[in-house]
A and B are shown apart, each in its own frame.
Chain A
Amino acid sequence: MMKPSLWGLKKSPWVYHVALSPCNNCDIEILDVLTPRFDVERFGVKLVGSPRHADALLVTGSINRHVLPRFVELYRQTAKPCVVFAVGSCALSSSMFRDSYNIVGPLDKVMKEIDPAAIVAYVPGCPPKPEAIIAGVVKALKAL
């Protein structure tokens, strides 16, 4: 028997879009996911305007020193339990910017320092297709 709150979390994940210095391609794909064509409201997914309401943070971009403190703040403002999604190659591995002077590293390394217990899911691609993002969300929710 699943706990009602966990069942609710799986059936209504509200997402908050966190852009940490991306090139905007992943962001455009995320917006595509939210259009009527893909209709993620079928799964209860809704875009919310405040991290307080969010159950999933969709993080895009290679994380640099400038946005890191903002992201730490934002993660602390999010009501737990929540899932952090690394969307796109940059969030996964810092991609081709990894040797740059201002990069602090991929999202999972950063998350380990902020909160070792955080749940991080990965959606690879440059940018990932909307279908790939939906598949990633479904897999992450199954693993909860």
Chain B
Amino acid sequence: MVIGYFFISVAVVLILGMATSWVDRKVTALVQARVGPPWYQPVADVAKLLGKEMLVPETSRAMGFALAPVAGFAAACVAGAILLGMLITGREFAGDLIVLVYLLAVPSVSMIIGACASGNPVSVVGASREMKMLLAYELPMLIVLVTTVFRAGGDFRIARLVAHQQAEGWMLLSASGVIGFIVALVSIQAKLGLVPFDAPEAEQEIMGGVMAEYSGPALALFRLTKMMLLCMLPVLMGVLFLGGFRMRGWDILWSVLKYMAVVVPLVLIRNTNPRLRVDQITRFFWGPMTVLALAGLALAALKV
């Protein structure tokens, strides 16, 4: 039974993630006045990569190199099962939000491990940037999470957050909520590695960075992990700030609108900003973003 729920949740996250990555590319194309890829493009990409050969470089540590994408994908699957399983079936456990935060950090860590094991200097540069970025965006993101949990009564359960918002209105409709939403949106942008914060994968300077040595099925797993994160993080935003998602009748349309209200700003930010250096990213998150997040926490303490 539980295993059935697990597979259904993972499949839903995968399909939603692929659809979202298509929306991402299509909106990008529209911004640049082009037609853009057909709707099946993410499926074609993954099908192709799964059918290609996987090259393991001579200079790599083969075990770490091959296992890193599997670890990242597994963590994303479990995170998807916790988040979607909660939304679909209402299953929950004490502290599931904390587990989710840890699981959502694992794909970045697995990318660092894989890149360091690949034995390519360019990948290692990418890995060091990924590591610095992870440290940078986690701080304001966690402060925002603590703020929302604090306002919902100090219980680290996703369902509790949703119930609180259904009783007393959306988190977003308050000063601390607006601040939290902005900070979380920017942090998610960095977590997904989208453009202003894509220093670890900068194609033009370090040739795909952490991904440079990956090919075939391993690259497909990393891309699937990215797509799943692209689905889960907006869902998490919806749960934290927009009153969660209800999946009955007309509420489905409303849920899709909420989801798109998070995804489209992410895509528009990505299309209208130049890439930052990694020191600028760190300064940005540890400076203005952390101050803003702390201000939000102070406002939440004043119940504003």
Contact = CB atoms under 8 A, between A and B. Distances in A.
Interface of A: 3-9, 11-12, 36, 39, 41-42, 44, 48-50, 52-53, 55, 77, 79-81
Nearest to B214: A52
Contact of A52 (B34, B48, B51, B212): B212
Given A5-B52, A39-B29, A52 B45 contact: no
Interface string B17-55: 000000001000100111111101101111111111111
When A and B form their complex, which 6 residue pairs have the shortest distance between CB atoms, in order from nearest?
A5-B51, A8-B48, A8-B47, A11-B44, A79-B215, A49-B203
Given A8-B51, A39-B35, A52 B41 contact: no
Contacts of A55: 48, 52
Nearest to B44: A11
Given A11-B44, A42-B36, 9 more contacts: A8-B45, A11-B41, A12-B41, A36-B32, A36-B33, A44-B45, A49-B207, A50-B207, A52-B219
Contact of B44 (A8, A53, A77): A8
A12 B45 contact: yes
Given A49-B208, A52-B214, A53-B208, A36 B45 contact: no
Interface residues of B, number: 35
B213 interface: yes
A52 B212 CA distance: 7
A47 to B, nearest CB: 8
A11 B40 contact: yes
Contacts of A4: 47, 50-51
Given A49-B204, A49-B208, A53-B215, A5 B53 contact: no
A77 B55 contact: yes
Residue among A5, A9, A12, A52 having the largest count of chain B Cβ atoms under 10 Å: A52
A55 B213 CA distance: 15
A41 B208 contact: no
A116 to B, nearest CB: 18
A44 B44 contact: yes
A127 B78 CA distance: 52
B207 A41 contact: no
A90 to B, nearest CB: 25
Contact of A39 (B34, B44, B203): B34
Contact of A49 (B25, B45, B212): B212
A3 B51 contact: yes
A44 B29 CA distance: 12
Given A36-B33, A36-B34, A77-B55, A50 B208 contact: yes
A41 B29 contact: yes
B179 interface: no
Contacts of A42: 34-38
16 contacts: A5-B48, A5-B50, A8-B43, A8-B47, A9-B48, A11-B44, A12-B41, A12-B44, A41-B25, A42-B37, A44-B44, A44-B45, A48-B208, A49-B207, A53-B211, A81-B52
Contact of A41 (B34, B48, B54, B214): B34
A7 B213 CA distance: 24
Contacts of B52: 5, 55, 79-81
A54 to B, nearest CB: 9
A7 B44 contact: yes
Given A9-B48, A12-B45, A12-B48, A80 B34 contact: no
B51 A79 contact: no
Contacts of A81: 52
Nearest to A81: B52
B34 A79 contact: no
Given A5-B48, A39-B36, A79 B55 contact: yes
Contacts of B64: none
Contacts of A50: 207-208, 211-213
B216 interface: yes
